[in-house]
A and B are shown apart, each in its own frame.
Chain A
C-alpha cells in the first residue's frame, strides 16, 4: 500500500515532442505528489508538485495531471528538448514532515 508504481521505465522522444510519464498509488492518505528530475551524478531536483485539491498544475513546459478517483498522476513535458534528457522520479507523501515514497524512475532520452 505504500508503493508508488511508475511507468515507463525508459522513454525516447523526438525533440519537440511530448513526454508523458505515469505514476499510480494505492495509499489514499497520500496528499502531496512531487516530481523530481535527476541528472547523472547529481541529486534529485524538485521540478513540480501537486496536492489532490487540483486536477492539473502547469509550470512552463511541465504539467502534472492528477486523477484522484483513479489514484494516478502523470507528468507531461511539452516541446521536449535534449536538455530534458534525465531520469524523472514521481513521489508521494501523506503529510508534511514525512518520508517521500518514490517510484523507480523513468529515463528520458530526447533525440535531436
Chain B
C-alpha cells in the first residue's frame, strides 16, 4: 500500500520562474492538504482540497500561489514568479474522509530552492 507520493523531491528555480509541485494521495484517500515548512519552523497549513474542489484556502498567499486536485491525476501546487522567500519544504498530506477522517498522512515533501 503506497503512501503519499510527492514529486519532485528537490526543485531548484531561479527568481521569476514557475514551480509545480505534485502530490498523489494514499490509495482510497480523497482529501489532500498542503503545508509549508520553513527552516526551524513548524508546518503551516496552506490549502485543503477534495477532488475538483478547494475546500479551504485560508492559509494560501493571495498572490502567485494556486492549487488544484483534478478528477484524474495528482494534486498540483503551483507557485508563479517565485521569490527567494518561497524557498521551503512543501508537504502534502492526505486523509480518507471516512472512517478515520481526522488522520492526515504526510508525503516526503518537495524541497524548493529559489536562487
A93 to B100, CA, bound (A): 14
Question: In the complex, what residues of A have CB within 8 A of residue B66's CB?
Answer: none
Question: In the complex, what residues of A have CB within 8 A of residue B44's CB?
Answer: 102
How many A residues face the partner with a CB closer than 8 A?
Answer: 22
Question: In the complex, what residues of B have CB within 8 A of residue A98's CB?
Answer: 48, 56
A45 and B106: CB pair below 8 A?
A: yes
B109 and A43: CB pair below 8 A?
A: yes
A46 and B59: CB pair below 8 A?
A: no
A71 to B33, CA, bound (A): 26
Say yes or no for B25: interface residue by CB 8 A criterion: no
Question: In the complex, what residues of B have CB within 8 A of residue A17's CB?
Answer: none
Say yes or no for A89: interface residue by CB 8 A criterion: yes
Say yes or no for B95: interface residue by CB 8 A criterion: yes
Question: In the complex, what residues of B have CB within 8 A of residue A32's CB?
Answer: 102
CB closest chain-B residue, reference A4: B42
A44 to B108, CA, bound (A): 8
Question: In the complex, what residues of B have CB within 8 A of residue A104's CB?
Answer: 41-42
Most B CB within 10 A of own CB, among A89, A96, A105: A96
B108 and A42: CB pair below 8 A?
A: yes
A89 to B45, CA, bound (A): 14
Say yes or no for A101: interface residue by CB 8 A criterion: yes
Annotate A66-103 by CB proximity to B: 1 below 8 A, 0 otherwise: 00000000000000000000000100010011111111
Q: Write the residues of chain B forming the contact surface with A, with a CB cutoff of 8 angstroms.
A: 4, 6, 31, 33, 35, 41-45, 48, 55-56, 58-59, 91, 93, 95, 97, 101-109
Q: Write the residues of chain A forming the contact surface with B, with a CB cutoff of 8 angstroms.
A: 6, 32, 34, 36, 42-46, 49, 89, 93, 96-105
7 pairs, A vs B, C-beta closer than 8 Å: A46-B104, A96-B101, A98-B56, A99-B33, A99-B58, A104-B41, A105-B41
